[in-house]
Structures are given as C-alpha cells and as structure tokens.
C-alpha cells in the first residue's frame, strides 16, 4: 500500500503551469489520480495526499512523474502521457555532464535543439519520444527503448559528435528494433501449418 503522503519539488516558475488557469490543471490531476495537491508557490514544494482508495504504488509514481515532467518544461498534455503504462520519464542534468559554465550550457542546449529546432524534432521522430529542455535539465518521455536511444543521442551531442553521426546511430538502432520486433512477432505466429498451406 502506498504512503498516504509524498512530496516533490519543481522549479517555482513552473508552479503556474501545474495549477493552470483557474486551477483547471491541478483539479484534473487530482481527479485523475485520486489525490490532493498542496502547493507552496514560494518554494516549489508540492505535497501529495492520496485518497485511501488509492492502493497502487504505480499510480503514486505516475503522478510524481507527471509533476516532475511539467517541472522540466513539458506541457501538462504531454506530461500526462506518463499516466499510460510502459511510458517513462528520464531527466538529464546537464550540469553533471558539462559543469556549471553558463556559456557551455547554452552551447550544448543549442546543439540538442539544433538550427530552427531541427535536431530536437529529428530525435523525437526517430525515437518516438518527447523532449523538453528547461534550464539545465533535459526531459525525455517515452518507452524504454526510445528513451534509452534518446539519452544516448544526447550524450553523443554533449560529447561533440556531429549531428549526422547521431542520426546514423538512431537510424541503425531503429532498424535493429524493427527487426527484433518482427522476429518476436514471427515467433508468436509460428510457421504456417500444412492445412493452412493447402487452403491457400
């Protein structure tokens, strides 16, 4: 049974997004997850009190992930994809990778975004994930394989790899995943039976 009360902290400037106009986003989250959000807008602390009817720890983690996703720049609509099964949140702290130089941070963020947002869009399309950049954080929403591929692509860009090398890696990985899924599907279907071949 989940703890009746947990907390998360998000950037203060994202509290307004979590609340929404006239509190509409906050009310929707409370209704969907069976919880009460107590928000301290001066610190960014959010206390989550769950209804006694909520007995699934997974639902607790989903709401925490949704709030954290909004905190790193995702819109509430995109963040709510985390309410689905097998969709996960990954957060990369660029300070841990490149240090605290503001100039270096802006340079790396520019590489991830790309000219007119092209790199960002290409990575999302090739991995089936959603990306967000807020301050020093990069947020990734997606399935396990897509999120891991996106994380690796970002690490390559941080390390100075050319964009075309990153796209080549993602395209190769996408083909491998597609082939692997095809093999799994064929294994489940199995070889055609003699009776099926005769009918054909």
3-state DSSP of 26-71: HHHHHHHHCEEEEEECCCCEEEEEECCCCCCHHHHHHHHHHHHHHH
Where are the domain boundaries for CATH 3.30.1370.10 in the chain?
5-83, 88-188
Which parts of the chain register pLDDT below 50? 194-200
Cα separation, 158 vs 170, in Å, equals: 16
Query: Which residues are CB-neighbours of 100 under 8 A, at least 6 positions away?
Result: none
Residue 42 phi/psi, 5-degree rounding, is: -85, -25
pLDDT for 1: 54
According to the model, what pLDDT value does residue 182 have? 80
- What's the pLDDT score for residue 189? 66
The whole-number pLDDT of residue 108 equals 97
Q: Residue 31's closest CA among 102, 99, 94, 83?
A: 83
Question: What digits encode the pLDDT tens for the residues 134-169?
Answer: 999 999 999 999 999 999 999 999 999 999 999 999
Residue 147 has what pLDDT?
A: 96
Query: Quick one: 5-83 is in which CATH superfamily?
Result: K Homology domain, type 1 (3.30.1370.10)
What is the dotted CATH code of the domain comprising 88-188?
A: 3.30.1370.10
> pLDDT (tens digit, 9 = 90+) per residue, 32-41?
999 999 999 9
């Amino acid at each position: 049974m989940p703890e009746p009360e947990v907390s998360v902290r998000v950037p203060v400037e994202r509290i307004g997004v979590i609340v929404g106009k006239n509190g509409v986003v906050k009310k929707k989250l409370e209704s969907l997850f069976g919880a009460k959000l107590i928000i301290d807008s001066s610190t960014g602390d959010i206390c989550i009190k769950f209804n006694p009817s909520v007995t699934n720890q997974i639902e607790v983690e989903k709401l925490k992930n949704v709030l954290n996703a909004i905190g790193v720049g995702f819109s509430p609509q995109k963040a709510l994809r985390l309410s689905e099964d097998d969709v996960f949140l990954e957060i990369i702290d660029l300070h841990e990778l490149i240090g605290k130089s503001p100039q270096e941070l802006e340079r790396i963020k520019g590489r991830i975004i790309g000219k007119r947002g092209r790199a960002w869009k290409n990575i999302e399309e090739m991995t089936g994930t959603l990306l967000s950049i807020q301050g020093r954080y990069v947020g990734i929403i997606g399935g396990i394989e897509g999120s891991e591929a996106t994380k690796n692509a970002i690490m390559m860009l941080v390390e100075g790899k050319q964009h075309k090398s990153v796209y080549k890696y993602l395209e190769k990985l996408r083909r491998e995943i597609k082939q692997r899924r095809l093999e799994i599907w064929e294994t489940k279907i199995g070889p055609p039976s003699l009776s099926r071949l005769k009918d054909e």
